[in-house]
Structure 1
């Protein structure tokens, strides 16, 4: 087609075809409002007209209508986007010490009890001490980070529970002995850590945990 053949002023059908072709391009389709956009716009326009006083409705009736509309919008939002997730206090469990242990408190306590029942006292001591650490971390009374040692934890925990500072140090020493030095644990050490875990669980920071039962005292002297 020669330049002279290009129509400068197209007739009506040709102009309509050009317009439809232009509006069918992707960028125009992407810019179109969604059904949700149109509905939100309609609700907004209706609320503006309602609150402008053009309806002649009494104030209390208008207030009731607004409340009902807001509640309806909340329901619609919940249906569309789902219930908001409650913020968890701990989104992820912090690893204990330097071995990446992220087991929960219940898992650690179950592992400690199972090991003790099987007579594996070294494992029971290790798992129970980890449970003590996890319990205080979960309560946000202490924090652990790469490089935290058992004795470092004991010193920090003693700031919250000064009455059991010596017992925390003893527990840390037992943990390090069975984990790093290969020393076998004893039933008495297991009982003492079990008792300490239970006492800390039911004690508030700064208060003295309940007196340890007599078997625990005997266990300490025996160990």
Structure 2
């Protein structure tokens, strides 16, 4: 039997044989495409973000979470502004009347009614609440000064008309909402103030006026 003689090619021949062998279809099919290489590069980059030098992703994940929460807080402040509870705390210290407002209760009621006819419920509520405050001041039941706030007035007026305490607090909230919190007024709230004003006009001075 004839045996093949072992081949011992030179170095250039060996390189040429290897190049020829790698050009065969089965090798070309197994070769990674550009998409495979790009995908691997992206995956390696993402993995590096979540792996520290020791392979522990804890510190990196914590930093990512903190940054995300901070970004959400900033967005919330930009979109919604400061928390409403803080706004109400500050707005509750603002006065009902300006120092230059010398209108009578009748004039304020007329202004409120005119705003209501124009469906301007914000102005109608503001003017009607001022009419209530000035009306009680004119009758010396509750003294109102330019520095009196809506909440302060409601508390002092409730001491004169305790049966209206809840409605007075609701009226004060309605005034603060439209005046300082930029909330829309409604006809129902305006009518609530009108009805409250009418009832308070029936209250008789049973005691000395309460200063405000």
* TM score, norm. by length of structure 2: 0.50
**Alignment of 1:124 onto 2:120:** no
Partner of 2:140: 140
- Using the alignment, how far apart are the partners of 1:192 and 1:115 within structure 2? 15
My pick for the range that moved more, 165-174 or 142-151, is: 142-151
Which SS does the other structure have where 1:100 is aligned? Answer: coil
With CA pairs under 8 Å and 6+ residues apart, which has the higher RCO, 1 or 2? 2
Question: What does residue range 1-223 of structure 1 map to in structure 2 within 5 Å?
Answer: 97-205=97-205
Q: Displacement of 1:146 after TM fit?
A: 4.1
Secondary structure, aligned partner of 1:198 = helix
Deviation of 1:205 after TM superposition, in Å, equals: 4.3
Aligned residues between the structures: 113
Secondary structure at 1:116's aligned position in 2?
helix
Distance in 2 separating the partners of 1:181 and 1:171: 14
Gaps spanning 5+ residues in structure 1: where? 1-94, 207-223
List structure 1 runs of 4+ shifted beyond 6 angstroms: none
Q: Distance in 2 between matches of 1:183 and 1:166?
A: 21
Return the index of the structure with the highest Cα Rg. Answer: 2
Instruction: Please list every run of 5 or more consecutive structure 2 residues that lacks an aligned counterpart in the other structure.
Output: 1-94, 207-212
Summarize the Cα distance change of 1:188–1:96 in structure 2 as closer, same or farther, 3 Å threshold.
closer
